[in-house]
Amino acid sequence: MNPAELDLRPAGGGECRANCPHCGDRRRHLYVNRERRLWHCFRCGRAGRLIETALSAPIMRSLSGPADKGKPRPLPPEALDRAYRAMLARLVLSGHHRAHLIDARDFSSDLVEHGLYRSLPASSDLLREDAGRAAAQAVGQGQASRVPGLALRRGGWTVVGPPGLLVPVRDEAGRICGLQVRLDNPKAGGSRYLWLSSRRQGGAGAAARLHWACPAGSGLDGTLWITEGPLKADYAAWRLGVSVIAVPGVTTCMHQVLQAVAERPRRYVVVAFDADLQTNPQVRACALGLVGELELRGLDVSVADWPLDSGKGLDDLLRSGGRPAVLAPFAWRVRLKEDCAMLKIVGWAKVAAPPESQTVARDGRDPMPVFRAILEVAPAPGARGKAPRLPAVAFYQRAEKCAGTGLQEGDTVFVSGSLTTVRQRDASGSGWTEVPGVMLEELAHVRVPDVGGEDGDDGMPF
């Protein structure tokens, strides 16, 4: 695939978005890190490193060049913040948009004022020209072309873009680095939100960014929630009293999320994507990928879960008076009925309950007799990645393969397998119930280690 087919676009944070040659994606879900030459598609999950070959040389050259050749690059965050605040100070919030925020979205008057939401009027409105002049004066006439959303018309600077509700997008320092427009009249089947940009007018384009909603007293080093959309994040931060970051969409800015979380100390991260991940395979894949990446980075991560009929977004749920269930990643995967074959368990385990015979069914297969034990699992020293510690999960093995193992309660074993769910006979013996487990394919994956070492230290984590 050549650079034209990849359709490389700037994504902010030193990254580009592109079409994926593996899954045939044409909506640029593949992200490329310019400096590290790493790529990852958030649609199909493939990832790797760009290698300098004759085939990839044109792509490497296009990455080394400017993101938008011949067009001005956006100003630094400090300057954009000055320009956008001057622009918003000259605009007003229409009665229609204020009613939407307060009545439909349950925003308080104080939240509306603090959020600096404004209305972008019809293109012929003089307010656009007044706001454009103010923004240009804030950064200087020579730098105004580097403010996404400003363009020269009839010898003066004006604000371009379709009419709608302007939503400020802030960075972690509270600086307004971009503006989203919630369109008054979106096209059928099109997006409701657009970034304020003047790319088509020869000015600076807008890059997709994270939005940080940090209410007073929440702090930037404590609990952090991750959700979709700036308006949802602002409302959730206000209602929950925690810091919330928002991605423009589940397939956008994921590398920025991972970088932001990795570079700052976080005690606790909660992923709260829209509940339609229960029915949308693409959203589900992105959520599973993000949670898995956060786990591999050793973070204390949980997932906010709620029924789809209680509201699509986190803000819908909170408006109705509900609260999400905050689940451990494994419990969330079980609730989604994910096979979880991509999540491997490799580590030492203590047998916490006596082994017993059991009959289970898995993946629509016929019921089979198995050997079942309850294990307390800890990550193995030196294991690739970081397997999550699980307080108690069931280990299943075909009964005929377990004869003569001598496994007993209190033994320490080494396990290697995949997290999964199985259907197990209930206490009455007349029905089935779904339970989490670690399904191992071969008996050789389990062994009882020799107890030894100096001073009775066997090197085990228990």
Residue 213 domain flag: no
Residue 70 domain flag: no
Q: What is the CATH classification number for the domain harbouring 424?
A: 2.40.50.140
Q: Report d(CA 56, CA 50) in Å as an integer.
A: 7
Q: What is the CATH classification number for the domain harbouring 226?
A: 3.40.1360.10
Q: What is the CATH classification number for the domain harbouring 176?
A: 3.90.980.10
Give me the pLDDT at residue 357, please.
64
Q: Are residues 93 and 193 in the same domain?
A: yes
Residue 69 domain flag: no
Give me the pLDDT at residue 449, please.
40
pLDDT string in tens for the chain (462-residue length): 555 677 777 766 567 788 887 777 777 778 777 666 677 777 776 777 665 444 455 555 555 544 445 578 889 999 999 999 999 999 999 999 999 999 999 999 999 999 999 999 987 678 999 999 999 999 998 999 999 999 998 889 999 999 999 999 999 889 999 999 999 999 887 889 999 999 888 888 888 889 999 886 555 557 889 999 999 999 999 999 899 999 987 777 777 888 788 776 666 899 999 998 888 877 887 888 788 778 777 778 889 999 999 999 999 999 999 999 998 886 787 677 654 433 444 455 666 666 666 666 554 556 666 656 555 555 434 333 344 444 344 555 554 444 445 566 666 665 555 555 555 556 666 666 655 555 543 333 344 444 333 444 433 344
Range of the domain at 185: 77-201
Q: Are residues 252 and 187 in the same domain?
A: no
Q: Are residues 182 and 116 in the same domain?
A: yes
Give me the pLDDT at residue 138, please.
96
At residue 105, the 3 state secondary structure works out as coil
Spell out where 262-389 has E strands.
268-271, 301-305, 325-327, 344-361, 368-379
CA–centroid distance for 278 within its chain: 15
Q: Which of 365, 308, 364 is CA-nearest to residue 336?
A: 308
Q: Are residues 308 and 378 in the same domain?
A: no
Among 313, 335, 357, give the residue marking a domain's end.
335
Q: Are residues 351 and 288 in the same domain?
A: no
Give me the pLDDT at residue 4, please.
61
Residue 299 domain flag: yes
Q: Are residues 384 and 451 in the same domain?
A: yes
Residue 209 domain flag: no
Residue 208 domain flag: no
Q: What is the CATH classification number for the domain harbouring 19?
A: 3.90.580.10
Q: Are residues 378 and 309 in the same domain?
A: no
How would you list the strands of the sheet with 38-41, edge to edge? 9-12, 15-18, 30-33, 38-41, 47-49
Give me the pLDDT at residue 67, please.
46
Give me the pLDDT at residue 256, please.
81
Number of domains in the chain: 4
Helices marked H in 17-76? 57-64
Give me the pLDDT at residue 392, please.
46
Q: Are residues 268 and 329 in the same domain?
A: yes
What's this model's pTM, rounded to 2 decimal places?
Answer: 0.65
Q: Are residues 139 and 180 in the same domain?
A: yes
Q: Are residues 19 and 115 in the same domain?
A: no
Q: Are residues 353 and 307 in the same domain?
A: no
297 token code pair:
């980075």
Q: Are residues 31 and 122 in the same domain?
A: no
Helices marked H in 93-171? 95-99, 109-115, 126-139
